[in-house]
Amino acid sequence: MDRDPILLTPGPLTTTLRTKLAMLKDWGSWDADFNALTARVRQGLLQIIHAQDSHVVVPLQGSGTFSVEAAVATVVPRDGHLLVLDNGAYCKRLGKVATLMGRRTTIATRPEQLPVSAAELAALLQADASITHVGLIHCETGTGIVNPLAEVAEVCQRLGRGLIVDAMSSFGALPIDARQIRFDALVAASGKCLEGVPGMGFVFVRKAVMAGCEGNSHSLAMDLHDQHQYMERTGQWRFTPPTHVVAALAEAMVQYQEEGGQPARLARYTDNCRTLVDGMAGLGLRTFLAPEHLSPIIVTFLAPSDERYRFATLYAEAKAQGFMLYPGKLTAVETFRVGCIGAIGHTEMQQAVDAVGRTLRGMGLGPA
Ligand SMILES: *Cc1c(COP(=O)(O)O)cnc(C)c1O
């Protein structure tokens, strides 16, 4: 195999050679050059969702979940009440994060194969005035379903509640415009649709909200208000920054703009998704979600019902042919997932389908 395996996973994902090469340099965390890099990345992130006027963006060390936790810790006051709209595994993780941090948390669960409902949210908020904030996962990566961000944001604004959005797997690919969608905090990370490497998250916080967040966080490391104050004052990260990750993200964002920004990225991922879903249909594999709910981020496939099917075998054989698949995250049905994101295109997706087809035939499965 003369290339690394293609990662068909929603982060870490396959990155370009340029992005990998950007990590071959050591940076001093106090140095003006690195501070300028951080400032450039922050500015670029704000521009992607047109949030320069309304929000600040605060980067944070760690995987994406660290930033989700920091957003809740910083934005939801200790006597606040978070309502989590739940239709999958990442929603449940958000609920757990908030509960463990001692925030009053209510979880409104819907079936995993359906988007959350803005109408149901309105009813829940009207019935309970104690709810101060709503937590929404934009693209629920557990299944791949996209939730109605604009409608949920409209309800939150109309009924005067804060909104925290986990846009980890959608940011950069699906359209989000902070001038049109009102949110208190929106969370994403380096190693998803911007095609950087994992290691840092970032949280957009509405300026007026951030001003009132001092002292909310029970945790020093998770305190985005403190991180923001320090960064504004010194240009530096509060604690050791993931320097190579920041450098890789800066380079990945240059390529993002060269490709044509969000519309181009969405178009490529949409083509990846179509190649995948059509190809797998040809192998007799159906998607867990109805076609109208599929997202160009990640697709959940129902496993073949044949008793000879083993995910471990599918995984190992696909890997031997250069493609890393992703296990399912559902409890009720046997599934596996295939990511459409990363520095890959039609050719790699078609090769992945061919590898799955060969593997299934080797297991004695597949179309007659
Ligand atoms: C990837 C992802 C996260 C963060 O996961 P980490 O493993 O902590 O990086 C959070 N929410 C969603 C929806 C994600 O896709």
Q: What does the pLDDT read at residue 367?
A: 63
335 Cα to the center of ligand 1, angstroms: 19
Ligand 1 within 6 A of CB of 64: yes
54 CB within 6 A, ligand 1:
no
Rounded percentage of the chain residues whose pLDDT exceeds 70: 99
Query: Which tokens hold the place of 219?
Result: 């945790």
Residue 156 Cβ inside 6 Å of ligand 1? The answer reads: no
Domain 6-11+261-362 grouped into CATH 3.90.1150.10: yes
CB of 300 closer than 6 angstroms to any ligand 1 atom: no
Pocket test for ligand 1, best of 166, 171, 269 (most atoms within 8 A of CB): 166
Q: Is the pLDDT of residue 1 over 60?
A: no
Number of other CB atoms surrounding residue 157 within 10 Å: 14
Whether ligand 1 lies within 6 angstroms of the CB of 70 is answered as no
pLDDT digits (tens, 9 = 90+) for 169-216: 999 999 999 999 999 999 999 999 999 999 999 999 999 999 999 999
For residue 271, pLDDT over 80 is answered with: yes
Report the CATH number of the 18-257 domain. Answer: 3.40.640.10
Q: Read off the tokens for 327.
A: 């296990």
* Chain length of the chain: 368
143 Cβ closer than 6 Å to some ligand 1 atom: no
Residue 359: what pLDDT?
95
- pLDDT tens, position by position, 214-233: 999 999 999 999 999 999 99
Q: How does residue 283 score in pLDDT terms, banded at 50, 70 and 90?
A: very high
The tens digit of pLDDT for each residue in 42-75 reads 999 999 999 999 999 999 999 999 999 999 999 9
**166 Cβ below 6 A of ligand 1:** yes
* H helix or E strand, kind and range, residue 44: helix 32-48
Domain with CATH 3.40.640.10 in the chain: 18-257
Q: What is the pLDDT of residue 7?
A: 97
Ligand 1: nearest atom to the Cα of 66: 8
- Domain boundaries for CATH 3.90.1150.10 within the chain: 6-11+261-362
pLDDT at 332: 83
66, 168, 197: residue to mutate for ligand 1 pocket, most atoms within 8 A of CB = 168
The reported pLDDT for the residue numbered 331 is: 77
- Cβ(171) – ligand 1 distance below 6 Å: no
pLDDT of residue 219: 96
Q: Are the C-beta atoms of residues 54 and 278 closer than 8 Å to each other? A: no
Which pLDDT score, from 0 to 100, does residue 366 have?
Answer: 67
Mean pLDDT of 315-337: 92
With vertex at residue 72, the alpha carbon angle to CA 67 and CA 78, rounded to the nearest 5 degrees, is: 145
Expressed in angstroms and rounded, the spacing between residue 110 Cα and the centre of ligand 1 is 20
Mean pLDDT of the region 314-343: 93
* pLDDT at residue 330, rounded to an integer: 84
pLDDT of residue 356: 96
> Across all residues in the chain, what is the average pLDDT?
96
Reported pTM: 0.97
335 lines ligand 1 (CB under 6 A): no
Show Cβ contacts of residue 308 under 8 Å, excluding neighbours closer than 6 positions: 363, 364, 365
Give residue 329 CA to ligand 1 midpoint distance, Å.
Answer: 13
